[in-house]
């Protein structure tokens, strides 16, 4: 059985949202082209597979904010869960972080720990920890790695560019 995403769920641009569905055993039963583009996995590779086997833990965490529709069924195989994904991985959009917070995320992306960042910027360790907690809250993520990954995907920081925080401290 293939589930079709209704046209009324389409984005304003006229394209369907990234969506997939699982059965009661968490096996993928539907995977649309938008999900292929967003998650980088083809429909042929995922149909019938366990969702946990298909997507990494980080990806599963990132789709935790998806719209989820649970459809109970009467038959043995009729329970379905449909996931409609938001396009968070797309570059652009205004960065909710201050310049200082962006500089800290850049330093995190370079592998610096909070204590090293504090020494580099001439701030207390507690101040850097507070900045990091504010970053996690603003980006709605649970770890520093997730914050760095989101900032890179959205284009808010450039891993290849010289860090302004580093340049200021030199």
At 64-121, the pLDDT tens digits run 556 777 777 766 666 788 877 765 544 456 889 999 999 999 999 988 999 999 999 9
10 Å CB burial of residue 91 (0-12, 13-18, 19+) is: exposed
Q: What is the pLDDT of residues 35-65, one digit of tens each?
A: 887 777 888 889 999 888 877 655 665 565 5
Quickly state the pLDDT bin for 26 (edges 50, 70, 90).
Answer: confident
Instruction: Report residue 92 as tokens.
Output: 């652009």
> What domains sit in the chain, N to C, each tagged with a CATH number?
7-84 (3.30.450.20), 99-169 (1.10.10.10)
């Amino acid at each position: 059985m293939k589930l079709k995403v209704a046209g009324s769920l389409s984005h304003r641009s006229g394209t369907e949202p990234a969506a997939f569905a699982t059965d009661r055993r968490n096996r993928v039963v539907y995977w649309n082209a938008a999900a292929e583009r967003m998650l980088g996995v083809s429909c042929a590779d995922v149909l019938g597979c366990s969702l946990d086997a298909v997507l990494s833990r980080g990806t599963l965490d990132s789709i935790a904010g998806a719209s989820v529709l649970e459809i109970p069924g009467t038959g043995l195989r009729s329970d379905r869960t449909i996931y409609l994904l938001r396009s968070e991985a797309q570059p652009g959009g205004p960065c909710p972080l201050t310049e200082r917070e962006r500089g800290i995320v850049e330093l995190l992306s370079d592998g610096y720990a909070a204590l090293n960042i504090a020494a580099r910027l001439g701030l207390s360790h507690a101040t850097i920890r507070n900045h990091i907690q504010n970053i996690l809250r603003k980006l709605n993520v649970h770890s520093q790695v997730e914050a760095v990954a989101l900032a890179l995907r959205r284009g808010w920081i450039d891993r290849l560019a010289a860090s302004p925080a580093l340049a200021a401290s030199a």
